[in-house]
Amino acid sequence: MCDRGAEFGTTTGRRRRCGWFDAVIGRYAVRINGMDCLAITKLDVLDTLEELKVCVAYEINGQRCEDFPSNSRRFAQCKPIYKTLPGWQQSTVHCRTLEDLPKQALAYLKFLAELMEVPIALVSLGASRDQTIIVEDPIHGPKRALLDANGIPVTSG
């Protein structure tokens, strides 16, 4: 993921630590920062993977914990509990709408939105401005491009 996503420090060139999406810490960040939507960037980095993992909970001393620990000592004891999702193994760089995305990519985005308990407003698929899908414009109001119960994009008026 580091190489494909060009995740290297700008000044030092040092490799950044990259890993699977951690929904526990993400949900905590949403709550304490009052976020009402998310931007998912570099979705194209996942295009070649057979499967994806998402951390949905932590194991702490043999117990499942779905909330972010309240102190650093407990956090240091956390082991991630992953849910594995199928990858899409096809390029998304030319997708310009939700409808253009592979079914598995759409399912992944829907899963993240459900876990994070906020909608996804933007999805980027590359470095160019035109490689950004605006699902729901957080500045100028929603376009109302939403997903139905089956993960299919629908437009409501």
- Per the domain annotation, does 98 fall within a domain? yes
87 is in an annotated binding site: no
- Per the domain annotation, does 86 fall within a domain? yes
pLDDT score at 42: 87
What range does the domain containing 42 cover? 21-134
Q: Take residue 16 and report the two structure tokens written for it.
A: 């950044």
pLDDT score at 81: 97
12 is in an annotated binding site: yes
- Per the domain annotation, does 149 fall within a domain? no
Query: For 28-68, what is each residue's pLDDT tens digit?
Result: 999 999 888 888 998 999 999 999 999 999 999 999 999 88
- Per the domain annotation, does 4 fall within a domain? no
- Per the domain annotation, does 99 fall within a domain? yes
Cα 153–Cα 124–Cα 141 angle in degrees, nearest 5: 60
64 is in an annotated binding site: no
**Beta-carbon contacts of residue 46 (< 8 Å; ≥ 6 apart):** 1, 52, 87, 88, 105, 108
11 is in an annotated binding site: yes
136, 37 contact by CB (below 8 A): yes
126 is in an annotated binding site: yes
pLDDT score at 83: 98
16 is in an annotated binding site: yes
- Per the domain annotation, does 92 fall within a domain? yes
110 is in an annotated binding site: no
Q: What parts of the chain have a pLDDT lower than 70?
A: 1-18, 136-157
